[in-house]
Amino acid sequence: MQQTSKLPNVGTTIFTVMSQLAAKENALNLAQGFPNFPSDPKLIEMVQQALRENYNQYAPMPGALILREAIAEKMELLYQRTYNPETEITVTAGATQAIFTIISAFVRPNDEVIIFTPAYDCYAPAVEVHGGKVVPIQLKGTSFSVDWNEVRSKITTKTKLMIINTPHNPSGTVLSRADMLELSSILENTNIILLSDEVYEHIIFDDAQHQSVALYPKLAERAFITASFGKTFHNTGWKMGYCVAPKALMDEFKKVHQFNVFSVNHPMQIGIGRYLKNPENYLELPAFFQRKRDYFLNAIKDSRFTWKPSQGTYFQVLSYKNITDELDTEFAKRLTREHKIASIPLSVFNTYKEDHKLLRFCFAKTEETLAQAAEILNKI
């Protein structure tokens, strides 16, 4: 039986490709973004307690109330914005499910969706599978800055949705207050929905404040914010996330969510809800990850790689211009095969596969692993 693919140009993701190659070559995997250290034992115990208390049947469709209330408290504490836990917060099976469901709920055939590249690779396929048209805007050079005049020029009567991501994966850059004010000005008096991917909101460095959409009333009134407990609390395999949005938008989201996953892991929701009651469990994360970033960069200071320190996320982009002129895809594979360290080439996320000779390395690792990585990189 022959079928026509709805995603004819989509193949295996670069994350799978590089992780499989790392496994085959017995290489150190700094490609895929997952920690190799455990979650807080207090969080594990809280989930185990929820299991013992028999929270083992369906959770409420929008999420366990204790968790939705804790999310609302966190948003109020960090961003001084009130989200109603009854109507404006939904717990999801990771941030990716939230992103896909938002796009499912709003994007119709021929609607245009603006994304900024290099972009996390789940955005474009979700748009395309619903018949939408991706309108890419390439971030500039190795600073990954936004040309807001170009953004203005790309908005049309067909623009349905815009997706932003800060702190930004894969570049490790962040949007500034000036950026957010420009964006607010551009979207004012339009019907464009904003999807703000803020999964690394708690991983931001050098005393910077995360510029959440929630801080900007004119943006928040048209926006979904998606977030990830997997990224935040070192348990990506749990696939736990959430989104917040004004009630009118969330009502449409729930129409799709209830037939997509309906609800997500109940005991984990209870455990995370209890864990969030202590704000220190997320307020201490910037310093925790900055120590890892600084340890890694100090360890490779004598290498031939160059860099700008990551501003956020747990990824560090390294330039290899001083080493070779190879394509980043080829150099990344050669590093994995010959030097036994895996990374992610950035060109695969760019609009026209622009190659700036940059590789992304994950530093959410133990110091032992980072020291081993540095020993390899210093010899290249």
User: CA 299, CA 293: separation in Å to the nearest integer?
Assistant: 10
CA atoms within 13 Å, Cβ hemisphere of 161: 31
- Tokens at 320, concatenated: 């290899």
- Tokens at 161, concatenated: 């949705």
H-helix segments, the chain: 14-25, 41-52, 65-79, 94-106, 123-129, 148-154, 177-187, 217-220, 229-232, 247-260, 266-275, 280-283, 285-299, 328-334, 367-377
The answer to whether the beta carbons of residues 229 and 240 sit under 8 Å apart is: yes
Q: Which amino acid is at 95?
A: A
pLDDT at 11: 80
Give the three-class secondary structure for 216: coil
User: CA 153, CA 169: separation in Å to the nearest integer?
Assistant: 24
Give the number of residues written for the chain.
380
User: CA 204, CA 101: separation in Å to the nearest integer?
Assistant: 27
CA distances from residue 44 to 230, 235, 264, 315, 376 in whole angstroms, order as listed: 13, 10, 17, 25, 34
| Nearest Cα residue to 234 out of 22, 19, 44 | 44
What is the signed CA dihedral for 341, 174, 364, 90, rounded to 10 degrees?
Answer: -120
pLDDT at 1: 86
| Nearest Cα residue to 359 out of 343, 337, 379 | 343
User: CA 313, CA 324: separation in Å to the nearest integer?
Assistant: 27
**What residues in the chain have per-residue pLDDT under 50?**
none
* Eight-class DSSP state of 98: H
| Nearest Cα residue to 374 out of 280, 274, 305 | 305
Q: Which amino acid is at 293?
A: R
What residues does 89 pair with on adjacent strands?
A: 244
At a CB cut-off of 8 Å and minimum separation 6, what does 259 contact? none
pLDDT at 10: 83
User: CA 257, CA 148: separation in Å to the nearest integer?
Assistant: 33
CA distances from residue 323 to 143, 253, 329, 331, 376 in whole angstroms, order as listed: 20, 48, 15, 10, 14
User: CA 257, CA 334: separation in Å to the nearest integer?
Assistant: 42
Give the three-class secondary structure for 135: strand
User: CA 246, CA 370: separation in Å to the nearest integer?
Assistant: 42
pTM above 0.85, yes or no: yes
CA distances from residue 285 to 132, 133, 199, 280 in whole angstroms, order as listed: 37, 37, 13, 9
The answer to whether the beta carbons of residues 260 and 97 sit under 8 Å apart is: yes
How far is C-alpha 79 from the geometric centre of its chain's CA atoms? 19
pLDDT at 113: 98
Give the three-class secondary structure for 318: strand
- What's the whole-number average pLDDT of the chain? 97
pLDDT at 327: 97
pLDDT at 9: 84
CB atoms within 10 A of CB 209: 11
First to last CA, the chain: 50
